[in-house]
Amino acid sequence: MVCLDSTQREVEQSLPKATSAVGIDVGIARFATMSDGSFLSPLNSFKKHQQRLARYQRRMRHKVKFSHNWKKGKAKVQRIHAKIANARKDYLHKATTTISQNHALVCIEDLQVRKMSRSTKGNRVQPGKMVRQKSGLNRSILDQGWGEFRRQLDYKMTWTGGVLVAVPPHNTSRTCPRCAHVSKHNRITQARFVCMSCKYENNADLVGAINILERGHRLLACGELAQSGRSVKQEPTEATQTAFV
């Protein structure tokens, strides 16, 4: 029998090589819009395989459960699900690696994905409204992998010595970044933002990303850090200080 003694050692905190800060607004039409104007298109892994998956699931329903043909059908369905999950995870890993390596500060919205993708079906006494549309939206939200995106960003920013800040999401795409006017009418369409006060116009997702970055800076200025797992009250490194200016 071999007994291995566990040891502890201090590991120096990594210093971020990048010095820039970015706000990120996640969405459906655009997976991630950066406050610098760049964006990532959605992979839509589930959507690409949805029809093929549905076809094999229908075939399964016509087979005798646990029969040889049913098991073959189930194996095909499981392979499609695995392909969808692997493609999504690979896409997210590449995206989060690039972001964490290029930025010392990343600000995102503190989204409650489970609540956002909750069913509105209701019950017999109180049936839900626009259930079909909400169901489609829920699929799209889950297909993007926002929760996994945040999880990967969290630990990768720690690896690179950067900071991840999650800010309150309310009115990020309804607030004018120029005059701070807040109104639901500012968002003309899903993609277009026009301030009713100063007439500032831009892409609505980009406006959201700019506001998210601004809120992240305010949280840091107050010595607070929401949902990041790291304390801002510790003395920041020189590179990190440069990024927050």
Catalytic center residues:
25, 109, 205
Cα gap 23→223, rounded to integer Å: 18
DSSP string computed for the chain: ---PPP-----PPPPPS---EEEEEE-SSSSEEETTS-EE----HHHHHHHHHHHHHHHHHTSPTTSHHHHHHHHHHHHHHHHHHHHHHHHHHHHHHHHHHH-SEEEEE---HHHHT----B-SSSB-SSHHHHHHHHHHHHHHTHHHHHHHHHHHHHHTT-EEEEE--TTTTTB-TTT--B-GGGB-SSSEEE-TTT--EEEHHHHHHHHHHHHHHHHHHTT--TTSSS-TTSPPPHHHHHHH-
Cα gap 245→243, rounded to integer Å: 6
Q: Are 212 and 107 a contacting pair, CB within 8 Å?
A: yes
Question: To which residue do tokens 């200025």 refer?
Answer: 221
